[in-house]
Amino acid sequence: MNRTFTCIMCPTGCEIEAEIEDSGDRTEDGPVILKITGATCIRGNAYVENELKNPLRIVASSIRVTGGNYPITSVRLTAPVPRARMMDVIEELRKVRIEAPVTIGQIIIQNILGLQSDVIITRHIGRRK
Amino acid sequence: MTSGQKTLDQHTVSDEIIRCDVIIIGGGPAGLAAAIELKRLGVADILILEREKEPGGILRQCIHDGFGLQRFHESLSGPEYAARFIDQAKELGIECLTDTSVLEITPDKKVITASRQGLTTYQARAVVLAMGCRERTREAICIPGSRLAGVYTAGVAQAYINLKNIMIGQTAVILGSGDIGLIMARRLTLEGAQVKAVFELQPHANGLPRNIAQCLNDFGIPLLLSHTVTRIHGKNRLEGVTVSQVDENLRPITGTQEYYACDTLIISVGLIPENELSEMAGVTLDPRTNGPLVDEHCQTTVKGIFAAGNVLIVHDLVDFVSLEAERLAAAVAVYLENDGVPAVDDRANDTSDKSRPATDCPLNAPAANCISIEPDRSIGFTVPQYVSGRKDFLLSMRVRNPHKNCTVVLQQGSTVIAETSLRKAIPAEMIQIPVRSADLVSREKITVVLKYE
């Protein structure tokens, strides 16, 4: 069986084809991959392997800030988490409230939900004058 | 920051003209990159004018990641990407006046601004246009129905959610498959709204394939091609939209109407370079790009007025905006030194062509003195639109329709001067081809042809 993927690792968006075993014998690491073609860099193959096994995504969102010159600041994950857990991450972020000032790179939640990814601030927020 | 002292002190003197080497209109990614590179090249007297409260431009509200992969080889969010440039500009002591709107630019490079200090007039030696672009609106595409709440352009929706923390609705549909619309489909879904579908008038998607994958497919949001919104329903707040299929001439097909109940319609139907100020300055615009006509130095048809970034041509990646602005800066630095842009490559020393002194800037009489570049019908436009032929340049273009296994060929007469083969070419991805001046064979026009099966 062939499956086609659009790689999301960079803006090139390679169309990558994966040939996987039909038998339906899924190992713990997902279906058995026979061949991957179409990627123009090595990240493409790794992406498709992950997609077949356990798709990973970065989450970016906002958290509330008190005492700042803006009501919220933006945050993102430092490493991708399983796609199925994105909403759980968002729910965790909803609970967070932080006092200004905050700076880019500041870690807000370490190892969120045990997913081996940190939540960092992506926008400076100064204190309200 | 000496120039900063000078300008601030003189704000009170309204009839005085403040002199400045380079004025940059807009403190977004293009303006910031141009300023930093100019400073590095030894230009000291630079002023950025920004109408918002802080620099950064549209990046301030683009909180998703994926910026900087080309420029920094890492995946940053928009505000982080902007901060790298803002911090650097601060370190270099580049002055950026915020909350300052430019009202007018004259062809002799006077710049008139409005700010809390009142009106101020500057006289620049060179002006850099870096105003970016704005969104096409519902009005621009004439969707019938009443003028109710709940209809937003994608960028406005993004600003509400990501800057002001205001949720805009609960059930949304999106018209247009531009990248910001796709990004907003994901953002709205993550924030708890239901996004029912994305409709695209064209038979192909307008956004990058990776955004269709990670913003729509990940969340099971359907993308309906050859569909458009033909009616807006509701009185005070949007209640629903009628959607119709369109034929090959993009006309709605009677009988295909379908009703979607929703309280929010996001419009993501294209971006237009923001060139009102450019036109005031007498800059000629290209009807194909809606941006200024430029040569390989990013200089417009008005000598000493340069343009880079989305004001010149809407880019798909901010990384390319930064790189373009840096190339512009190099040309502006040369311009300031010579009071014109001489051809700066080896051919400038080619004395065989005595009729053309090395300093003949093509920009004084672009039509007569330059090599024009003409794309065929498969390619919508090129930037630059003309070149001196004395300097290597990067030619940017987009295809009008998607093609697989095609070749872009640049020719002068029947001689091929450059060609690039592409596995795929889609309208959403800008194609950039480096061209060496040494490969040019004459002063004849360069034609750009797309060859495909």
Count how many domains chain B has.
3
Minimal CA–CA distance to A72: which of A110, A98, A103, A105?
A98
User: Is residue B292 domain-shared with residue B384, that is, in the same domain?
Assistant: no
Q: Is residue B3 part of a domain?
A: no
Tell me, yes or no, if A96 comes closer than 8 A to chain B by beta carbon.
no
DSSP B295-356: -TT-B-SSTTEEE-GGGTS--S-HHHHHHHHHHHHHHHHHHHHHTS----SGGGG-TT-TTS
User: Is residue A64 domain-shared with residue A40, that is, in the same domain?
Assistant: no
Q: What is the pLDDT of residue A129?
A: 80
Tens-place pLDDT, residues B122-134: 999 999 999 999 9
For residue B151 the two structure tokens come to: 């209809």
pLDDT at B330 over 70: yes
User: Is residue A88 domain-shared with residue A109, that is, in the same domain?
Assistant: yes
Element spanning B50, H or E: none
pLDDT at B52 over 90: yes
**For residues B423 and A87, which has the higher predicted lDDT (pLDDT)?**
A87
User: Is residue B305 domain-shared with residue B369, that is, in the same domain?
Assistant: no
Tell me, yes or no, if A58 comes closer than 8 A to chain B by beta carbon.
yes
pLDDT at B361 over 80: no
User: Is residue A114 domain-shared with residue A78, that is, in the same domain?
Assistant: yes
pLDDT at B365 over 50: no
Tell me, yes or no, if B162 comes closer than 8 A to chain A by beta carbon.
yes
Measured CA distances, B355 to B359, B369, B439 (Å): 11, 11, 21
Looking at B216, B243, B269, the residue that finishes a domain is B269
Burial class of A91 by CB neighbour count within 10 A (0 to 12, 13 to 18, 19+): exposed
Tens-place pLDDT, residues B383-406: 999 998 988 999 999 999 999 999
pLDDT at B105 over 80: yes
- In chain B, the percentage of residues whose pLDDT exceeds 70 is 91
For residue B386 the two structure tokens come to: 């003309």
pLDDT at B435 over 70: yes
Q: Is residue A127 part of a domain?
A: no
User: Is residue B109 domain-shared with residue B50, that is, in the same domain?
Assistant: yes
Looking at A35, A54, A73, the residue that finishes a domain is A54
pLDDT-derived band at B347 (thresholds 50, 70, 90) equals: very low
Q: Buried b / exposed e across B202-223, counting CB within 10 Å, b at 16+?
A: beebbbbbbbbbbbbebbebeb
Q: What is the pLDDT of residue B360?
A: 41
What residues of chain A lie within 8 A of the CB of B191, using their CB?
Answer: 61, 90
Measured CA distances, B141 to A100, B201, B222, B230, B268 (Å): 42, 11, 22, 10, 11
Asked if A8 lies within 8 A of B213 by C-beta distance, the reply is yes
Distance CA A32, CA A21 (A): 5
Tens-place pLDDT, residues B197-252: 999 999 999 999 999 999 999 999 999 999 999 999 999 999 999 999 999 999 99
What residues of chain A lie within 8 A of the CB of B70, using their CB?
Answer: 11
Q: Is residue B217 part of a domain?
A: yes
Q: What is the pLDDT of residue B368?
A: 58
Work out the angle between the directed axes of helices B29-40 and B318-338 (0-180°, nearest 10): 40
User: Is residue B356 domain-shared with residue B294, that is, in the same domain?
Assistant: no
Q: Is residue A129 part of a domain?
A: no
User: Is residue A65 domain-shared with residue A45, that is, in the same domain?
Assistant: no
Minimal CA–CA distance to B141: which of B250, B263, B286?
B250
How many Å lie between the alpha carbon of A21 and the closest alpha carbon of chain B?
24
Q: What is the pLDDT of residue B345?
A: 35
Within 10 Å of residue A126's Cβ, how many Cβ atoms? 13
Q: What is the pTM of this model?
A: 0.90
Minimal CA–CA distance to B85: which of B63, B62, B61, B57?
B57
DSSP B282-310: TPPBPTTTSSB---TT-B-SSTTEEE-GG
How many Å lie between the alpha carbon of A78 and the closest alpha carbon of chain B?
10
**For residues A45 and A21, which has the higher predicted lDDT (pLDDT)?**
A45
Q: Which of B98, B161, B165, B187 to mutate to test the interface with A (most CBs of A within 10 A)?
A: B165
Asked if A83 lies within 8 A of B218 by C-beta distance, the reply is yes
Q: Find the CB nearest A62 among B63, B66, B209.
A: B63
Q: Find the CB nearest A10 among B69, B214, B218.
A: B69
Q: What is the pLDDT of residue B14?
A: 57
Structural domain that includes position A34: 2-54
Segment B364-376 shows an average pLDDT of 74
Q: Which amino acid is at B402?
A: P
Q: What is the pLDDT of residue B344?
A: 40
Q: What is the pLDDT of residue B453?
A: 82
> Which of A116-125, B11-20, B261-270 is predicted least confidently?
B11-20
Q: Is residue B7 part of a domain?
A: no
User: Is residue A113 domain-shared with residue A74, that is, in the same domain?
Assistant: yes
Distance CA A90, CA B190 (A): 7
Segment B260-275 shows an average pLDDT of 97
Q: What is the pLDDT of residue A26?
A: 61
Tens-place pLDDT, residues A38-60: 998 999 999 999 999 999 999 99
User: Is residue A45 domain-shared with residue A87, that is, in the same domain?
Assistant: no
Q: Is residue B8 part of a domain?
A: no
- Mean pLDDT, rounded, of chain B: 91
User: Is residue A68 domain-shared with residue A100, that is, in the same domain?
Assistant: yes
Tell me, yes or no, if B52 comes closer than 8 A to chain A by beta carbon.
no
User: Is residue A48 domain-shared with residue A68, that is, in the same domain?
Assistant: no
Q: Is residue A109 part of a domain?
A: yes
Count how many domains chain A has.
2
**For residues A15 and B15, which has the higher predicted lDDT (pLDDT)?**
A15
Q: Is residue A91 part of a domain?
A: yes
Q: Is residue A13 part of a domain?
A: yes
> Which of B66-75, B105-114, B255-264 is predicted least confidently?
B66-75
Measured CA distances, B98 to B116, B118, B373 (Å): 10, 13, 38
Q: What is the pLDDT of residue B343?
A: 54
- Interface contacts A/B by beta carbons within 8 Å: 78
Looking at B338, B372, B388, the residue that finishes a domain is B338
User: Is residue B153 domain-shared with residue B176, that is, in the same domain?
Assistant: yes
Contact A65, A126 (CB under 8 A): no
**For residues B370 and B173, which has the higher predicted lDDT (pLDDT)?**
B173
ipTM of the complex: 0.93
Q: Is residue A128 part of a domain?
A: no
Distance of CA B68 to the CA centre of its chain: 16
User: Is residue A90 domain-shared with residue A105, that is, in the same domain?
Assistant: yes
Residues in chain B: 453
Element spanning A13, H or E: none
User: Is residue B55 domain-shared with residue B98, that is, in the same domain?
Assistant: yes
Q: What is the pLDDT of residue B268?
A: 97
User: Is residue A8 domain-shared with residue A47, that is, in the same domain?
Assistant: yes
Tens-place pLDDT, residues A97-126: 999 999 999 999 999 999 999 999 999 999
User: Is residue B158 domain-shared with residue B265, that is, in the same domain?
Assistant: yes
pLDDT at B137 over 60: yes
Q: What is the pLDDT of residue B352?
A: 41
User: Is residue A27 domain-shared with residue A73, that is, in the same domain?
Assistant: no
- Mean pLDDT, rounded, of chain A: 92
pLDDT at A9 over 60: yes
Asked if A61 lies within 8 A of B63 by C-beta distance, the reply is yes
User: Is residue B162 domain-shared with residue B61, that is, in the same domain?
Assistant: no
Span between the terminal Cα atoms of chain A, in Å: 62
Q: Is residue B345 part of a domain?
A: no
Contact B228, B199 (CB under 8 A): yes
User: Is residue A111 domain-shared with residue A65, that is, in the same domain?
Assistant: yes
User: Is residue B57 domain-shared with residue B89, that is, in the same domain?
Assistant: yes
What residues of chain A lie within 8 A of the CB of B64, using their CB?
Answer: 60
Angle at B223 between CA B222 and CA B229, to 5 degrees: 110
Looking at B250, B269, B288, the residue that finishes a domain is B269
Asked if B77 lies within 8 A of A59 by C-beta distance, the reply is no
Distance CA B225, CA B175 (A): 10
Residue B155 phi, psi dihedral angles, 5° rounding? -70, -35
CATH classification at residue B408: 2.60.40
Within 10 Å of residue A28's Cβ, how many Cβ atoms? 5
pLDDT-derived band at A28 (thresholds 50, 70, 90) equals: low
CATH classification at residue B172: 3.50.50.60
Asked if A124 lies within 8 A of B83 by C-beta distance, the reply is yes
Structural domain that includes position B45: 16-134+272-338
Looking at A54, A79, A97, the residue that finishes a domain is A54
